[in-house]
Structure 1
Amino acid sequence: MCGTDLTHARWRKSSYSGGANDCVEVAELAEHAAVRDSKDIGRRPLLFSKVAMRALVDGIGCGYIDECCDSE
């Protein structure tokens, strides 16, 4: 995955984004999905297999993966 060409990746941001570049962007590639921080697009994005990305999105949607809060 390290050699994955991202030159022609089409990045998209959630429609729920406030437009302040404070979210992640996702690009669907041939065999992978790439995720990057919209505030720092110069950093190398994280690459996931499509199966892993689907499991992540499904886990969030079902509530299995939730936002963590510091109880202090």
Structure 2
Amino acid sequence: VTGDWSKFNGAWDLMEKYMIPTKADQPTNSFYNASKPATYAPELDTPNEYPAKLEPSVAAGSDPIAAELKN
């Protein structure tokens, strides 16, 4: 280990700039209700089986990290 973190820090900066959406990129995010998250869809075995059929009868519960993501 050289102790040179510059390449790692540079990669992290690029990720924060391009990969993490800003508030402007998600204008409807304020309407999200953490106690009523997305409808459940099963994970399928192969890509050609997608899109998966939504199963609204499956209780999804509340989103445990919504408050953290909002901050």
TM class by shorter chain equals: under 0.3
Question: Higher strand fraction: Structure 1 or Structure 2?
Answer: 1
Say which structure, 1 or 2, has more relative contact order (CA 8 Å, 6+ apart). 2
TM-score in terms of structure 2 length? 0.24
Between structure 1 and structure 2, the one with the greater Rg is: 2
Question: Higher helix fraction: Structure 1 or Structure 2?
Answer: 2
TM-score in terms of structure 1 length? 0.23
